[in-house]
Amino acid sequence: MANLPKHSEITILDVREAGGGIKDEKVAEAKLLNPYVTWYTDIGSWPGISFPAQCVVVVKIPQTVLTTYGGTLEHRDVVEKVKMHMPFGHYPAIRYYGVTPHVYLDEDSTSTAGSIRIYWDTETIDYKYSVYFSQQEDGPFTQFIEDFGDASPTEYNTQVVMGLTSGTTYWIYVTATIDNIEGAKSVKLKVLCP
């Protein structure tokens, strides 16, 4: 059997705060009003009372901070910065938020020569969408803007990209913008223009 530490060798690390400023005669009432009162060492009992330590904290960060989406940080940089601000015993679960549209080729519609019809999943009406195209997979990409009306960025989830060259392969992607912040690029569609 392995040598277990003696009781005198065990160190208890209690991250609960001392104090709380609650008068003794008001402790019972305070516990009823706010159970977090037991997080104070001079009020809560040690065994069986949970307190905020050794837990997971969900940290939500916009995906646009990542280099993949045009930002300046790699995921490992984000983790390092978040951990600098985490209390001892806490583990950050980092969740990136933002809209990355899923784009589809509208093969069921009749395509006009020199144009490609696409559609994508939308979020809410608060988002505006921009469509980009290129003859090269890695760009440079041009934002598609229709000659008539204010159609780009668009509120709708469909777009006919016109003025293209028939028989040429194009790569197309869509981005979603809210509060003037453009989100991540969708997966690029590779389409042969009719």
Relative to beta strand 103-105, strand 116-120 is: antiparallel
The residue among 46, 79, 97 that closes a domain is 97
The residue among 97, 126, 145 that closes a domain is 97
The parent domain of residue 52 ranges over 24-97
Does the structure show a pLDDT above 90 at 38? no
**Residue 179 belongs to a domain with what CATH number?**
2.60.40.10
pLDDT band at 183 (very low <50, low <70, confident <90, very high): confident
Alpha-carbon gap, residue 179 to 48, rounded angstroms: 46
Give tens-digit pLDDT for 143-179.
998 654 444 556 668 888 988 999 999 999 998 887 7
Does the structure show a pLDDT above 90 at 44? no
pLDDT at 100: 81
Give tens-digit pLDDT for 80-131.
999 888 876 778 899 887 778 888 888 765 568 889 989 888 766 778 889 9
- Indicate if 116 and 143 belong to the same structural domain: yes
Number of domains in the chain: 2
pTM above 0.75? no
pLDDT at 33: 85
Mean pLDDT of 45-63: 70
